[in-house]
Structure 1
Amino acid sequence: MTSPLTNDRKPNIIAALAGGWVADAASLGLHWLYDSPRILEVGGQSPEFLPPKADNFKGGFGYFAHEGKQSGDISHYGAATGVLTDSLLASEGKLEIRDYQRRFRAYFGPGGQWQGYIDNPTRVTLNNLNTIEQEAIEQAQSTVRAELTDRQRRILVQKVLPYTRRLSGDQLAGPVRKAIDLTYHETEVQEAGVYLAETIDQHLVPESGADDMQLPAVSKLPPLVACYCGSDKLMEITEAAVRVTNHNDEAVAWAKCAARLLDNLFRGETMAEALAAAAAKAPDTEQLSRAAAFDGLDAAGAGDRFGRTCYLHEAMPVIFHILTHASSFAEAVRANIQCGGDSCGRAWIIGPAMAAIHGVSGEHGIPLSWLARVTDSPNILLDIERLIYGR
């Protein structure tokens, strides 16, 4: 971790991060079913951890996106959060944009581990990363001074790309020379290859995200906020991370709102204090105030009023409404599911926020049985502990 948190807050943050995974997995079965009456018909008062089935969407408006997933599996939101978590673990709790971009591309791109729905920010980000790299290659090739054949140029690019995708700066020259020496022993060709690698490296930009203002901008924030909790760099780091997948000013503004909310909760403030501090960062404070002003918890009513889709200007008021009125982790997660729409996306703020306050077990915390129902929960929880306490 890079944050100055004392050890007494770390168990709360571990619970908070676990709460994101649990809330996401609990919501998957009815994710993107927009019809609250149909959700009530299918899931009743306990709609959590339903197996994703197309039949559940019949008779209501929705989009069934999770064919092949099982009860306890995570959504694409959780998968993306896992990618950022892995990058933070590999970088000792620091955000390293190039490492994050590389892991994101490797995980969601061709040949990657992810099998499932690909959202618009992910799809466009993958395309952008390819375009950025191709433009960097063209820039490097157009300025290389060595006399090279077309064949040598093609081979040199093939030689250097594996290294520009995972190394940067002074790390490049040595490995690139060795790789080129396997085929070309001439110093001039090797130096041309090093020049290509370094020039490509210089033209790879950190803002690779889609011009998109949907929930993927904020859903990955919990592990990042945990690592920078209490830091005066949190807002700067939040913006840098968000622009990797969502290069949009409104998305960044809402992300800063969400990051402030989680940061204050992670540091031990009350829900009311954290919501007030976060609202001050929001691009639309009036909608958040209206969401909190409901007379009691009415997630379906909040969805009717503010919207249920993936857009942040709809999702954040619903999130604020549920966090204002829910009294337990389970109540908040169930209300989020019963609201309908993009419940998995909202879960990544609602779950960590409620778990930061209420912890694990007891009347208000994450039910232990829910923790056990998350697919691969032992490894997920181990990574969370490693992130917070270190190796």
Structure 2
Amino acid sequence: MENNGSTDRRYSITAALAGGWVADAASLGVHWLYDSGRILEVGGDAPEFLPPKAEYYSRGFGYFAHEGKQPGDISHYGAATGVLADSLLASEGRLDIRDYQRRFRACFGPGGNWCGFLDNPTRITLENLTAIEHRAIDHALSTVTAELTERQQKVLIQKVMPYTRRLTGDQLTEPVKAAISLTYQEPEIQDAGLHLARTIDEQLVPESGADDLQLPAVSKLSPLVACYCGSERLLDMAEAAVRVTNHSDEAVAWARCATQLLDHLFQGGSISEALDLAAPLAPDTDRLSQARSGSRLDARSAGDTFGRTCYLHEAMPVIFHILSHAGSYTEAIRANIHCGGDSCGRAWIIGPAMAAIHGVGSEKGIPLSWLTRLTNGSDILGKLESLVNGNWPEKGPQKEAPTCPMQ
């Protein structure tokens, strides 16, 4: 982890990360209800932590995606952010794309623990990860010089794949040899298996994401910013992480904007300075300037002007408007919910930004009562503290990753 800030700064960053999880959970009840008037009807002035109910969507345009979820639960955005946070924690604060991809598939793919909505970039990323592996396997088999039976080929692939999903380069040699030797003692078959592992490893590409311009590109960034806060490598690391799920130049540009925003706030800068520094990195600076104009917070009007859907060119101006005008964490999160649409997606920038400024428990910070409403809050917050403070888990024998994080 490259962040070596003071104790106070680490406290602020931990609060910022918590701000994302709390904001997401607070917004879930009326997520993707696009009618601001209807949200006011069902939630009043305090629409946070409403139980997700289909009846809310009986009037006004919306999409009810969270059947079975309870107040305090996180959305699919939270689960995806947790995948990256868990990978960073396991990798001692470093971005390990291979580990991140494996954990992403383990969480959201068949047999994973995530039960809930899957967005378009997640579905396509899972398909792409499988296709990338199949192409790598086909290429590896086509370059084997040893004469292998079809059965031997299948067995060798089954033996090497668990290792190529989590190891790379010279890390593969010993465990792959050991696995193959359990079935085949012949040197030529062992060498063929090692060749397969190395060739597959070389063919697995880090850019596994969908060509998609929606909020999953930026919603997961806060743990990565915490780990690389102030580093000259941060923007490159953000691009690498984004392309795992959103392989799009425009999505990367918006992500660089969001990353710069959070990084400045995590280092203790002001919101106006952070917005000034972030805006030039965006694909559409005019919309961001327009969003910052005016003298008062009016998130409903911002939604009318810029849009409420998941697309980044709609969401980021709304985010900039709320951050420019909200005076507290609570005001910002309620304004985001009242705006409607993809409130959970926007929460992952608004929540960390406002919590980085105002902290926890103060008049303007995250209300302590909101922290207590977060499902599995103790486990989530404990992991966030470990990530920021560099309390890495002990290294044990290599084994498959947990199927889903921070829920």
Superposed, which structure 2 residues align to 1:217-256 within 5 Å?
217-256=217-256
Q: Which residue of 2 aligns with 1:306?
A: 306
Cα deviations across residues 207-234 of structure 1 (Å, max 9, x unaligned)? 0000001000000000000100100011
Cα deviations across residues 297-336 of structure 1 (Å, max 9, x unaligned)? 1101000000000000000000000000000000000000
- Output the amino acid matched with 2:184: Y
Q: Which residue of 2 aligns with 1:27?
A: 27
CA displacement at 1:295 relative to structure 2 = 3.1
Q: Which residue of 2 aligns with 1:336?
A: 336
Distance in 1 of aligned mates of 2:130 and 2:137: 11
CA displacement at 1:4 relative to structure 2 = 3.6
CA displacement at 1:5 relative to structure 2 = 2.3
Q: Which residue of 1 aligns with 2:387?
A: 387
Q: Which residue of 1 aligns with 2:283?
A: 283
Q: Contact 1:26/1:48 (CA < 8 Å) preserved in 2?
A: yes
Q: Which residue of 1 aligns with 2:127?
A: 127
Q: Which residue of 2 aligns with 1:103?
A: 103
What are the ranges of 5 or more consecutive residues in structure 2 without an aligned counterpart?
392-407
Cα deviations across residues 190-220 of structure 1 (Å, max 9, x unaligned)? 1100000110000000000000010000000
Distance in 1 of aligned mates of 2:18 and 2:38: 29
Instruction: Give the TM-score normalised by structure 2.
Output: 0.95
Aligned residues: 391
Distance in 1 of aligned mates of 2:149 and 2:22: 56
Q: State yes or no: 1:357 paired with 2:357.
A: yes
CA displacement at 1:175 relative to structure 2 = 1.2
Q: State yes or no: 1:374 paired with 2:368.
A: no
Q: State yes or no: 1:112 paired with 2:139.
A: no
Cα deviations across residues 29-55 of structure 1 (Å, max 9, x unaligned)? 000000000000000000000000000
CA displacement at 1:3 relative to structure 2 = 2.2
Distance in 2 of aligned mates of 1:231 and 1:4: 10
Q: Which residue of 1 aligns with 2:399?
A: none
CA displacement at 1:171 relative to structure 2 = 1.3
Q: Which residue of 2 aligns with 1:62?
A: 62
Q: Which residue of 2 aligns with 1:296?
A: 296
Q: Which residue of 2 aligns with 1:166?
A: 166
- Output the amino acid matched with 1:180: I
Distance in 2 of aligned mates of 1:93 and 1:39: 39
- Output the amino acid matched with 1:46: A
- Output the amino acid matched with 2:220: K
- Output the amino acid matched with 1:301: S
* Larger displacement relative to structure 2 (291-300 or 255-264): 291-300
Cα deviations across residues 236-273 of structure 1 (Å, max 9, x unaligned)? 11100000000000100000000000000011111111
Give the fraction of aligned pairs with identical amino acids, expressed as a percent.
Answer: 71
Q: Contact 1:261/1:277 (CA < 8 Å) preserved in 2?
A: yes
Distance in 2 of aligned mates of 1:218 and 1:336: 16
Distance in 2 of aligned mates of 1:174 and 1:105: 25
Superposed, which structure 2 residues align to 1:11-90 within 5 Å?
11-90=11-90
Distance in 2 of aligned mates of 1:219 and 1:176: 36
CA displacement at 1:93 relative to structure 2 = 0.4
- Output the amino acid matched with 2:109: G
Cα deviations across residues 96-126 of structure 1 (Å, max 9, x unaligned)? 1101001101111100111100001110000
